[in-house]
Structure 1
Amino acid sequence: MPSAVRALRGATTCDVDDPAQITERTVALLEEMFARNGVDHDHLISILFTTTPDLVSTFPATAARTIGLGDVPLLCAQEIPVPGSMSMCIRVMAHLETDRARSELHHVYLEHAVSLRDDLPS
Structure 2
Amino acid sequence: MMRGIRGATTVDRNESSEIISHTKELIDAMVQENELSPPNIASVFISVTNDINADFPAKALRLLDGWKFVPVMCMQEINVPGSLAKCIRVMITANTERNQEDVVHIYHYQAKKLRPDLIREEERNG
- Alignment check: 8 A CA contact 2:106 2:119 kept: no
Q: What does 1:1-122 align with in structure 2 at a 5 Å threshold?
A: 4-68=1-65, 69-122=67-120
- Alpha-carbon distance in 1 for matches of 2:4, 2:119: 17
**RMSD over aligned Cα, in angstroms?**
0.8
- Alpha-carbon distance in 2 for matches of 1:109, 1:93: 12
Q: Give 2:71's aligned amino acid.
A: P
Identity %: 37
Q: Deviations for 1:10-60, whole angstroms, at most 9, x for unmatched residues?
A: 000000000000000000000000111111122111000000000001111
19-28 vs 39-48, greater mean Cα deviation: 39-48
Partner of 1:119: helix, strand, or coil?
Answer: helix
- Alpha-carbon distance in 1 for matches of 2:61, 2:17: 13
Q: Give 1:72's aligned amino acid.
A: V
60-69 vs 31-40, greater mean Cα deviation: 60-69
Q: Give TM-score scaled by structure 1 length.
A: 0.94
- Alpha-carbon distance in 1 for matches of 2:84, 2:48: 10
- The offset of 1:105, in angstroms, is 0.1
* Matched pairs, number: 119
| Structure 1: gaps of 5 or more residues | none
- The offset of 1:121, in angstroms, is 3.1
- Alpha-carbon distance in 1 for matches of 2:118, 2:74: 25
Structure in which a larger fraction of residues adopt helix: 2
Q: Give 2:48's aligned amino acid.
A: T
